[in-house]
A and B are shown apart, each in its own frame.
Chain A
Amino acid sequence: MKKNWWKILAVVLLVFTVVAGMLSDVPRLAILNETIRNLYFHVPMWFGMILILLISVVYSIKYLRNPTTRNDVIAYEAAKVGILFGVLGIVTGMEWAKFTWGEYWSNDPKQNASAIGLLIYFAYVVLRSSFNEQQQRARISAVYNIFAFAALIPLLFILPRLTDSLHPGNGGNPGFNTYDLDSRLRLVFYPAVLGWTLLGIWIVNVKSRLEILRQRLYETV
């Protein structure tokens, strides 16, 4: 029970996010209207994705220093959950873009960058599946994982800032800080970020424990 407090916290925070996110008062703004509530679902996906991919890279580095099955499994499962968060982030973003920009996909730099970022991690999954020998697979995919993360950073943080974008916070559009004057959004936004991220870590935790058990089972049989 003592070790599981963060799981309870995740559930409480997510229930709070969904209830308060759907029902609470939000600032009335032109064009955005009620779609501003997407802030509680779309933005936390990217926070969660970056954090979980960071976990994946950290475990890849740990694998290269200390090659154990555990490090490899956690790196792989974290990358897969990162992909899940990325896909959800793109889908929620597209849904939002349909109502505010008028198109699901309007060739925006941020949309393109996130699509390329996902391609990098799909390539990681393909690379993993092309090895038969377990140790070689683990080491070479760890190398690619670190390399890909280094290539992802300029893609997500530098390039969109160099070009004009429709996305809030870019190209003269109001960002997060300018429109939530009364902090009502913050009250739900921060718990949402924490809740979704904890949920992601929980999924990684459960899936990697399962995978480690499965591998141990195969070894003994």
Chain B
Amino acid sequence: MLFKEVLYLIQKDLVLEWRQKYAFNGMILYVSSTVFVCYLSFGLRSNVLTVPVWNAVLWIILLFTSVNAIAKSFMQENRGRLLYFYSIVSPQGVILAKIVYNAMIMLVLALICFVFYAFVLGNPVQDVPMFLLTILLGAIGFSTSLTMISGIASKAANSGTLMAVLSFPVIVPMLLMLIKMSKNALDGLDRSTSLDELLTLLAINMIVVTVSYILFPYLWRS
């Protein structure tokens, strides 16, 4: 029952996105212009761009992209539609659908970002499958924690600033793990070295999804 509901809601989000492509196209443009700005600022002195810097800049771009992309997930919905949902679906279905949908959007954006970034700034990644797995985990992790935060922030008056203030401290532990994991993949270290980070990331994701699942009904009611 819940599963079917979630599938319908994801489908609805995808259809909505497909009909009014401006949001997604805007995000793609945002990613590519940020990468291009990085290219222009580093381009003249390519010796500055060491591997740790490459890694850190990529994750900072991804972080800001995800905050901007996911912040819209509740603010975009108009009031009438929210009231309509309120009468026909359960809040658990809404939050799970939003999380899955945001994870999909983030995955697409992160892959585009990575490909474009590697294209203009060079690709020092030695273990590409592991790096892609890190990006997948990053997309899921960002969407799980930011979806709930965007739900909280959308209720407040100045939701733009609040989104950043509320999300950064929550997301930093995840970001540290991701940066370490992707650094291992960049250096082509043995995959077993990243196992600790991988398990911790999965555990944090589980905690965040469970807490969102339990808390969202209270947020939804207002």
List B contacts of A130 (CB < 8 A).
Answer: 156-158, 162
A117 to B207, alpha carbons, bound, how many Å?
Answer: 17
Q: Is B173 close to A, CB under 8 A?
A: yes
Give the size of the chain B interface in residues (CB under 8 angstroms): 32
Q: Are B155 and A120 in contact (CB under 8 A)?
A: no
Report yes or no: A143 in contact with B152, Cβ–Cβ below 8 A. Answer: yes
Bound Cα distance from A142 to B148, whole angstroms: 13
Known: A147-B212, A151-B145. A162 touches B156 (CB 8 A): no
Main SS at interface, chain A? helix
- Which of B80-88, B119-127, B214-222 binds A? B214-222
Chain A 163-184 interface 0/1 with B at a Cβ cutoff of 8 Å (1 = within): 0000000000000000000000
The residues of B that contact A116 with a CB separation of less than 8 Å are 169, 172-173
Binding site for A on B (CB under 8 A): 145, 148-149, 152, 155-158, 162, 165-166, 168-170, 172-173, 176-177, 196-197, 200, 203-204, 207-208, 211-212, 215, 218-219, 221-222
Task: Enumerate chain B residues within 8 angstroms of A119, measured Cβ to Cβ.
Answer: 168-169
- Whether the pair A154, B222 counts as a contact (CB closer than 8 A) is no
Q: Given A116-B169, A144-B166, do A131 and B157 touch, yes or no (CB 8 Å)?
A: yes
Contact A162 B169 (CB under 8 A): no
Tell which of B148, B169, B211 touches A123, judged by Cβ atoms closer than 8 Å.
B169
Q: Are A123's CB and B165's CB within 8 A?
A: yes
Q: Please, how many angstroms separate the alpha-carbon atoms of A136 and B157 in the complex? A: 12
Residues of B near A143 (CB, < 8 A) are 152, 215, 218-219
**Cβ contact within 8 Å between B208 and A140:** no
A148 engages B170 (CB within 8 Å): yes
Given A130-B156, A147-B170; 8 other pairs, CB 8 A cutoff: A119-B169, A123-B165, A130-B157, A140-B155, A140-B156, A146-B215, A150-B211, A151-B207
A212 at the interface (CB under 8 A from B): no
A22 at the interface (CB under 8 A from B): no
* Alpha-carbon separation in the docked complex, A72 to B150 (Å): 22
Asked if A30 is at the interface of the complex by the 8 Å CB criterion, the answer is no
* A203 close to chain B: CB less than 8 A: no
Interchain CB contact under 8 A, B156 and A127: yes
Q: Are B222 and A139 in contact (CB under 8 A)?
A: yes
Closest CB in chain B relative to A184 CB, distance in Å: 37
Let me know if A126 is at the binding interface, CB within 8 A: yes
A4→B169 CA distance, assembly (Å): 39
**A127 CA to B152 CA, complexed, in Å:** 9
Cα separation A155 to B200 with both chains bound (whole Å): 11
Alpha-carbon gap, A171 to B213, bound state (A): 36
**Interface contact A154-B173, CB-CB below 8 Å:** yes
In the complex, the answer to whether B155 meets A151 with C-beta atoms within 8 Å is no
* Total contacting residues, chain A, CB less than 8 A: 29
**Residue from the list A120, A142, A150 in contact with B169, Cβ < 8 A:** A120
Report how far A130 CA is from B152 CA in the complex, Å: 12
B200 touches A147 (CB 8 A): no
| Contact status A126-B218, CB under 8 Å | no
Pairwise interchain contact A140-B219, C-beta atoms closer than 8 A: yes
Best-surrounded residue of A113, A127, A146 (most CB of chain B within 10 A): A127
Interface residue? A64 (CB, 8 A): yes
Q: Does A158 contact B (CB under 8 A)?
A: yes
- A132 to B, closest residue via Cβ: B157
Closest to B168 in A: A119
B152: nearest chain-A partner, CB-CB: A144
Q: Which chain A residue has the least Cβ–Cβ distance from B170?
A: A151
Q: B200 and A159: CB pair below 8 A?
A: yes
Contacts of B211 in A (CB 8 A): 146-147, 150
A64, B166: Cβ atoms closer than 8 Å: no
Complex CA distance for A155 and B169, rounded to whole angstroms: 10
> CB-nearest residue of chain B relative to A118?
B169
A144 partner residues in chain B, CB cutoff 8 A: 152, 166
